[in-house]
Structure 1
């Protein structure tokens, strides 16, 4: 299933349009928060019992999807990297705080793991992070990964600055137990061309992970956080009179 760019862009416009709640006889209601735009791809003919067919990677989109002051990351580090992270206003955890967290009840460690979207860890602290937090971060797909599967393990203050810039564009792509992929491509407030470029980046990346490329795509949908799912087909768009 390979879809032409014009159909993709029409479907994206429809997803944004249907993020507005419309009810006959009432004024259209725009939600009071900046909704996320999601791409959903159903996959076929892939055996997920074979670990090599599963996906758990971070990718860099073409355009930023989050502003720096809204980055939801935690840096676990020491020394100069820790100081650089604090200077940048990023939330941090040093070795003593990590050990203290490990002595907390399980519910506190679960809460900590859920609090942040991404974790950036100094390489020499990865052993401690794996020892204390792997069982909480792992199931959420949040264990920092080295390049090329991720960008969360660093070794210098310069690496930290690069990682922070990258994570404005990074999303996590996962397909483990079910043949379906959910990917955030941006925010409703973004320009349509920037959303489209991000969507193309995700689609091409996923196709490259498949044994038969686009032939493993069963169907695609686009939707805003609270909006109606838009199936990426000409027939569906015609039914909406788009």
Structure 2
């Protein structure tokens, strides 16, 4: 199913409009928070028993996925890298902090791991992370990855600064157990063209990994946090009135 920009933009617009859909006798429901916008891709004709057909990738998008500068990142490092992370007002942990965390109860370790979206680790501390936190990070898809799979392992202050900047635009793409991908592409308040560019970047990457390209896509949807999924399909859009912003 080849998707053009016009259809994607129509679907995006409809998803945003219908997130504040008016019900009969009631006022439109304006959310009190800036809803996220997700892309959902249902795939077909792939064998996830084959590791080569699974996807586990940190993808850099053209635009940040949030209009906020704050990214939920924790830096685990030492020396100058640790000092620079503190200067950048990023949450940090030293080797000693990790060793201390290891003495706490299991629920405390899970709470720490769940607090952050990403972890950036100095390369020489990776053995410490593997020893104490891998069993908590791995199942949640948060284990730092080296380039080119990811940008979570650094060796210098310059690496750290570049990595933090990248993570404002990074999303995790994981297709392991079921042929479906749901990923945040941005916020409702963001520029539509930027949202569209992020959506296209994800689709292009997934399609490029597929043996049969667009023919491996069963269906696609765009939805806001509280809204109903809008199918990326001309016929579907006509059934809901093809309502535009």
1:67 offset after TM fit, Å?
A: 4.7
Aligned-partner Cα distance in 1 for 2:50–2:27: 51
Q: Deviations over 1:54-77 (max 9, x none)?
A: 111100000112356421000000
Alignment of 1:1-242 (within 5 A): 1-67=1-67, 69-242=69-242
Q: Moved runs in structure 1, 4+ residues, more than 4 A? A: none
Summarize the Cα distance change of 1:132–1:67 in structure 2 as closer, same or farther, 3 Å threshold: farther
Distance in 2, matches of 1:61 and 1:97, equals: 33
Where 1:218 maps in the other structure, the secondary structure is strand
The 3-state SS of whatever aligns with 1:201 is helix
Q: TM-score, normalised by structure 2?
A: 0.97
Q: Is the 8 A contact 1:63 1:198 kept in 2?
A: yes
Q: What's the TM-score once normalised by structure 1's chain length?
A: 0.98
Report the 3-state secondary structure (helix = DSSP H, G, I; strand = E; otherwise coil) of the residue aligned with 1:143. Answer: coil
5+ residue gaps, structure 2, are: none
Give the 3-state SS of the residue equivalent to 1:33 in structure 2: coil
Check the 8 A contact 1:22/1:28 in 2, yes or no: yes
| 8 Å contact from structure 2 (residues 67, 190) kept in 1 | no
Could you give the per-residue CA deviations for residues 112-151 of structure 1, whole angstroms, max 9, x where no partner exists?
1111000000000011101110000000000000011100
Matched length: 242
Q: Is the 8 A contact 1:67 1:168 kept in 2?
A: no
Q: 1:7-30: CA deviations, max 9, x gaps?
A: 111001001111114211222121
Provide the C-alpha distance between the structure 1 equivalents of 2:120 and 2:214, rounded to a whole number of angstroms: 33
What SS does the aligned partner of 1:70 have? coil
CA contact (8 A) 2:65 2:185 kept: yes
Distance 1:76 1:172 in 2: 20
Q: Is the CA contact (8 Å cut-off) linking 1:220 and 1:231 kept in structure 2?
A: yes
Q: Would you say the 8 A contact 1:59–1:173 is kept in 2?
A: yes
* RMSD of Structure 2 on Structure 1 (CA): 0.9
Q: Check whether the contact 1:144–1:151 (CA below 8 A) recurs between aligned residues.
A: yes
